[in-house]
């Protein structure tokens, strides 16, 4: 992604608006915001996990004149709020306004329609096609997604998580101490939003849940993180760090168990 478009966690909405204005005018702005606070979030399952299998996802598309439960949807049609997204994701093929749905395992969470990539990909970062659509599909609007799984933090350090969205989203992250959430409801132009504080994290599994939606025109939903000594570089979380479930055995434990099994086999052969 283009670093010029990033919202750096730890700054509030006013700072983001000022930063965006300065970017558009080619100006620079000094940050007077205090360093981001840091909260401890311990893993649900500790260990170093590699070779992720991706995440679970459900997707749905509705007609542009479908009316969901929100006032926006009643007035304009389509998926306009998180409440509309939840109602759409609960629909089946027999419901009025339902167009199509699919479930898929995604290697990473970086999905955007053709219009997003054409108009905004060079500035915000190109995205893969949502599992609902094929490139060139004439109708890529009014869709919602529910994505969930586990993030495997690879090493101890400070982390933050960001969602690039258009039009809205809700994200929740769970650790041993509880959950942390952020969201953007209603109709919004694309923006990258992160927590106002960092997480001090140890290696292991952390569960997450992400709902996102698009009404009309360009739509995108990406999940990434900032981590490292300065937590300054944003990147989409790769499949290596994403899992559909918290079942895999940590690499060190697997090597230890494999070694034990090998010793047992040798002992059996000696006895025989």
CATH code, domain carrying 59: 2.60.120
Does residue 196 fall inside a structural domain?
A: yes
Does residue 90 fall inside a structural domain?
A: yes
pTM above 0.85, yes or no: no
Among positive and negative, which fits the CA dihedral 14, 237, 112, 245?
negative
* pLDDT value for 234: 85
Does residue 187 fall inside a structural domain?
A: yes
In the block, tokens 């060079």 appear at 122
Does residue 28 fall inside a structural domain?
A: no
CA–CA distance, 61 with 78 (Å, rounded to integer) = 9
The two structure tokens encoding residue 68: 């969901």
- 43 contacts 174 by C-beta, under 8 angstroms: no
* pLDDT value for 228: 66
Q: State which residues form the domain around 74.
A: 37-255
Does residue 105 fall inside a structural domain?
A: yes
CA–CA distance, 180 with 222 (Å, rounded to integer) = 18
Q: Residue 77: helix, strand or coil by DSSP?
A: coil
Q: What percent of the chain has pLDDT over 70?
A: 76
Q: What is the number of structural domains in the chain?
A: 1
When pLDDT is cut at 50, 70 and 90, the band that residue 233 belongs to is confident
Q: Identify the DSSP state of 40.
A: E
Does residue 170 fall inside a structural domain?
A: yes
Whether 62 shows a pLDDT value over 80: the answer reads yes
Does residue 20 fall inside a structural domain?
A: no
| Cα Rg of the chain, angstroms | 21
Whether 258 shows a pLDDT value over 50: the answer reads no
Does residue 23 fall inside a structural domain?
A: no
């Amino acid at each position: 992604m283009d670093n010029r478009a990033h919202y750096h966690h730890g700054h509030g909405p006013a700072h983001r608006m000022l930063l965006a204005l300065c970017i558009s005018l080619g100006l620079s702005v000094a940050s007077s915001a205090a360093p981001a606070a840091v909260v401890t979030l311990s893993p649900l399952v500790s260990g170093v996990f590699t070779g992720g299998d991706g995440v679970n996802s459900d997707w749905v598309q509705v007609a542009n004149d479908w009316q969901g439960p929100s006032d926006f949807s009643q007035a304009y049609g389509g998926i306009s709020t998180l409440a509309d997204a939840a109602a759409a994701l609960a629909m089946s093929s027999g419901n009025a306004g339902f167009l199509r749905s699919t479930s898929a395992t995604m290697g990473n969470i970086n999905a955007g329609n053709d219009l997003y990539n054409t108009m905004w990909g060079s500035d915000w970062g190109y995205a893969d096609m949502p599992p609902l659509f094929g490139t060139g599909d004439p109708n890529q609007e009014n869709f919602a997604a529910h994505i969930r799984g586990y993030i495997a933090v690879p090493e101890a350090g400070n982390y933050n998580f960001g969602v690039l969205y258009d039009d809205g989203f809700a994200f929740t992250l769970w650790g041993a101490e509880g959950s942390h959430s952020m969201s953007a409801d209603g109709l919004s132009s694309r923006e990258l939003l992160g927590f106002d504080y960092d997480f001090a994290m140890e290696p292991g599994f952390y569960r997450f849940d992400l709902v996102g939606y698009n009404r009309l025109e360009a739509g995108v939903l990406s999940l990434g993180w900032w981590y490292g000594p300065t937590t300054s570089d944003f990147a989409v979380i790769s499949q290596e760090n994403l899992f559909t479930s918290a079942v895999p055995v940590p690499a060190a434990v697997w090597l230890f168990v494999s070694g034990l099994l090998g010793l047992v086999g040798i002992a059996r052969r000696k006895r025989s």
